[in-house]
Amino acid sequence: MRPFRRAPAVLTTLLLASSPSHGQKPNYDESRVPDYKLPEPLALGGTFTRSKDTWEKKMRPATLAILEREMYGSPPAPAQPLSFSFNLEKEVRDAGDGTVVRRSYLITFSHPGSPQLRLLLYLPRGARKVPAFLGLNFRGNHTLEKDPRIPLETGYVLGARRTGDNTTLAAKNRGIAAGRWPVTTITDRGYALATLCCGNIDPDFDDGFRNGVHAMFPTAGKGGWGTIATWAWGLGRILDVLDQVREVDAGRVAVIGHSRLGKTALWAGAIDQRFAMVISNNSGCGGAALSKRAFGETVGLINRACPHWFNARFKQYNDNEAALGFDQHQLIALIAPRPVYVASASEDLWADPRGEFLSLLHAEQAYLLYHDRPLGVAGHPEPGKSVGTLMGYHLRKGKHDITAQDWAHYLDFADRWLGKK
């Protein structure tokens, strides 16, 4: 265990992010960050290793098991043998600026009563085994473009009623997320883009784990498998589908997510090593940020506001981060040796930008087994500057969002590591 002293107050000039009140007030003062100890990513049972073989065969599985047991949970046994099929619903060849191929696939599971997943896939015209970005969206596929040919998402989406027809809200939201998903920019760079609404997999509210894909898993209601883990499981199923799409190289898929879906992308990359790259945008507590700093959103705040995101055991650390025997730098370490990118926003103190960077920095220990200078910096970089090699990071000026500036860094990072055949 390595002790860490409070960090200097380097973020005092940044604006405080607004946050909901759930009893405990968030701390935005660096001088009030407690002293804390972080476990060594390459240590197990008091033994430290610099062996890739020991890390991969013993320490990585042990670390993954701790995070599964204490925080995220893992899928229980399904009610019956599980399989799925997918069918092409529609293809248009003039999406985006008119040069992009857009397909809609319907994914159906074998289990009666299970939800259907509607996958939207964008391809460069003439694509042949191209790399891809895969990420979930919050409010439906129709929010990526104003094109009325994209069906409205009428199920649960972020901000919608929990039950009933949400068509009116969906119609108002058509195209509102276009800035977060720069389709043409991505396809012009030679990448496919795949997305579906996270609510298709598991609606984002607490109902005792009875909705979404939980219907296929009869013991899910015991709280052993949180929504973040469920969404991550769904990303793995989408990767299964992409593996059967001839224009996509499923061996070069980057999983990406913003905010709670950034938490999801990190966990998906940790549990499924088929993802070739992992990108976390403003993921904060439960994602890239160190929990032990208790800065901005904390374990107690996140569990009270969203009790369904993590498993039941994680609640024992509410207002008790010092008792954590693990932290989020170990989550990032699980992604090694694959490329990982973490990004923060200067005004997003709720997500603890400094804690996100420190988590990446302390995960470098695992990456050093594979690369001489995977991150290459020790200090929090100035806003606007992208740093790192195998591990990337930038601090964008502004608020909690994913923007064209963020995507420019992600595309450059992907060019470096996913390459173009």
Q: What pLDDT digit, counting tens, does each position of 77-89 carry?
A: 887 788 889 999 9
Residue 161's pLDDT is: 65
- Most distant CA pair in the chain: distance in Å? 59
- The whole-number pLDDT of residue 335 equals 98
Name which of 158-167, 231-240, 335-344, 386-395 the model is least confident about.
Answer: 158-167
Whether 300 shows a pLDDT value over 80: the answer reads: yes
Confidence band, pLDDT 50/70/90 cuts, at residue 222: confident
Q: pLDDT-derived band of residue 232, with 50, 70 and 90 as boundaries? A: very high
pLDDT at 13 over 70: no
How does residue 114 score in pLDDT terms, banded at 50, 70 and 90? confident
How many CB atoms neighbour CB 99 within 10 A?
Answer: 14
Q: How far is CA 195 from the centre of its chain?
A: 13
Q: What percent of the chain has pLDDT over 90?
A: 78
Task: Find the mean pLDDT for residues 354-365.
Answer: 98
The rounded Cα 132 to chain-centroid distance in angstroms is 16
Name the β-bridge partners of 257: 280
Q: Return the pLDDT at 8.
A: 39
Per-residue pLDDT, 218: 77
| Average pLDDT score over the chain | 91
**Sign, CA torsion 42/231/307/73:** negative
Domain 2-11+22-417 maps to which CATH number in 3.20.20.60, 1.10.600.10, 2.40.50.140, 3.40.50.1820? 3.40.50.1820
245 vs 115 pLDDT, higher one: 245
The whole-number pLDDT of residue 82 equals: 84
Per the CB < 8 A criterion, the answer to whether 56 and 377 are in contact is: no
Cβ(67)–Cβ(41) below 8 Å: no
Distance of CA 297 to the CA centre of its chain: 17
Terminal alpha carbon distance of the chain = 44
**Would you tell me the crossing angle of helices 260-271 and 227-242 to the nearest 10 degrees?**
60
Q: Catalytic residue positions? A: 259, 400
Question: Counting every residue, how long is the chain?
Answer: 421
**Amino acid residing at 19:** S
Task: Count Cβ neighbours within 10 Å for each residue of 378-410 and write b for 16 or more, e otherwise.
Answer: eebeeeeebbbbbbbbbbbeeebbbbeebbebb
Question: Does the structure show a pLDDT above 90 at 415?
Answer: yes
Instruction: Locate the domains of the chain by residue range.
Output: 2-11+22-417
Q: What is the pLDDT of residues 186-205, one digit of tens each?
A: 999 999 999 999 999 999 99
Average pLDDT of span 137-155: 93
For residues 25 and 99, what is the distance between their CA atoms, to the nearest angstrom?
49
Mean pLDDT, residues 49-69: 96
What per-residue confidence (pLDDT) applies to 1?
44
pLDDT at position 165? 61
pTM over 0.85: yes
